[in-house]
Amino acid sequence: MGGVYSSEKMAEVFSYESSEVDWCEDNYKHSEHVVEYFNTMSSFSFFVISPIMLYLLHPYAKERNLAIHLIWTMMIFVGLFSAYFHMTLSFVGQMLDELSILWVLAAGYAFWFPRRHYPSFIKDRSTFSSLVLVVTVISTVSSFVKPTANAYILNCFGLHLAYVVVVEMRCCTDQKVLRLGKLSVALWVLAISCWVSDRFGCSFWQRLNFCYLHGIWHILIVIAVAYASTLIAYLDASYEIPYSLPGLQYWPCDKWAVGLPHIVLKGTTKTQKRC
């Protein structure tokens, strides 16, 4: 009896619309198998941006630590779980979406969080990374206590990252770096406005017959992460591997007004550091 009950419960968490969260986009408008069509499709932007960022970050990762590739590899999974969530609006989809974001953030903090912002009792990156791991495991378990709160807590990390970028930019004089900092924050502000507006202003957007703000958030946030993560990686390279003489460029063409930022290493390998 108990076995039947628990397997029914198990199946329930996978079922369509078992999540308590429902975004503004009309359900089943374009397909009977996809609950939120535009939100699902826009999640595919992660599949476009992530491989390009893996390619663009490769020279820096090769010099610094190949494990850095974990971040954009995990972003592919964030896109996959986000598409699954919006396709089904299932509880499992929601948890996979949110927990994958939590673990990418954890990897980002572990690899890149600037040493000078560490709490005073932490002396090195490996202690900091262990602390991040412990906090992430505890947060993963506690995320099941009140799942509707998870997204707000994750957005607090976005706010913290924006704060770190602003603090770092205060004493920066390089115009290219400053521009990247401003663009990262502007894109994040635009993205978060779409997320909040979709969450709390749905009746207004329904009257305008424009319920696509959450999908637009997907596209803007992946670009914001590409910009902000390159900036943070650039600052990391400047402090941790200064002999590589890091610089910033845009792909596909540095002269274009739009493009994806990446790091170029004008110096050469680690061996030169020893000379």
Ligand X SMILES: CCCCCCCC/C=C\CCCCCCCC(=O)N[C@@H](CO)[C@H](O)/C=C/CCCCCCCCCCCCC
**Cβ-based nearer residue to ligand X, 81 or 250:** 81
Does residue 36 belong to the site contacting ligand X (CB under 6 A)? no
In this chain, which stretch among 30-38, 79-87, 113-121, 176-184 interacts with Zn ion, using CB under 5 A? 79-87
Looking at 20-148, list the stretches that DSSP marks H as alpha helix, in order from N- to C-terminal side: 37-42, 45-64, 69-88, 91-112, 125-142
User: Hunting for tokens 């900091």 — which residue is that?
Assistant: 128
**Per the structure block, which two tokens stand in for 210?**
């424009």
DSSP annotation of 256 reads: S
**From the CB of 228, what's the least distance to ligand X, in Å?**
3
b (16+ CB within 10 A) / e for 103-113: bbbbbbbbbbb
Binding track, positions 117-136, relative to ligand X; x by CB under 6 A: --------------------
In this chain, which stretch among 26-34, 59-67, 146-154, 255-263 interacts with Ca ion, using CB under 5 A? 26-34
103 known ligand binder: no
Does residue 221 belong to the site contacting ligand X (CB under 6 A)? yes
Does residue 102 belong to the site contacting ligand X (CB under 6 A)? no
> Cα–Cα distances in Å, from 194 out to 111, 161, 165, 226?
29, 18, 21, 18
194, interface contact from ligand X, Ca ion, Zn ion, none, CB < 5-8 Å by kind: none
Residue 206: partners with Cβ closer than 8 Å, 6 or more residues away = 24
For residues 272 and 253, the answer to whether their CB atoms sit within 8 Å is no
27 known ligand binder: yes
Provide Rg for the chain, Cα atoms: 20
25 known ligand binder: yes
Closest to 165 measured CA to CA, from 189, 181, 187: 181
**From the CB of 14, what's the least distance to Zn ion, in Å?**
18
**Per the structure block, which two tokens stand in for 113?**
């969080």
Does residue 31 belong to the site contacting Ca ion (CB under 5 A)? no
Residue choice 52, 80, 162, 190 for contact with ligand X (CB under 6 A): 162
> Cα–Cα distances in Å, from 58 out to 51, 175, 185?
11, 24, 24
27, interface contact from ligand X, Zn ion, Ca ion, none, CB < 5-8 Å by kind: Ca ion
Does residue 78 belong to the site contacting ligand X (CB under 6 A)? yes
Residue choice 6, 7, 15, 27 for contact with Ca ion (CB under 5 A): 27
Does residue 263 belong to the site contacting ligand X (CB under 6 A)? no
CA 142 to chain CA centroid, Å, is 20
Residue choice 12, 20, 22, 254 for contact with Ca ion (CB under 5 A): 22
Q: CA-to-CA distance for 191 and 186, rounded, in angstroms? A: 9
Does residue 20 belong to the site contacting Ca ion (CB under 5 A)? no
In this chain, which stretch among 81-89, 116-124, 134-142, 162-170 interacts with Zn ion, using CB under 5 A? 81-89
DSSP annotation of 269 reads: -
Binding positions for Zn(2+): 86, 214, 218
Residues of this chain that interact with ligand X (CB under 6 A) are 78, 82, 85, 97, 101, 104-105, 108-109, 112-113, 151, 154-155, 157-158, 161-162, 165, 184-185, 188, 218, 221, 224-225, 228-229, 232
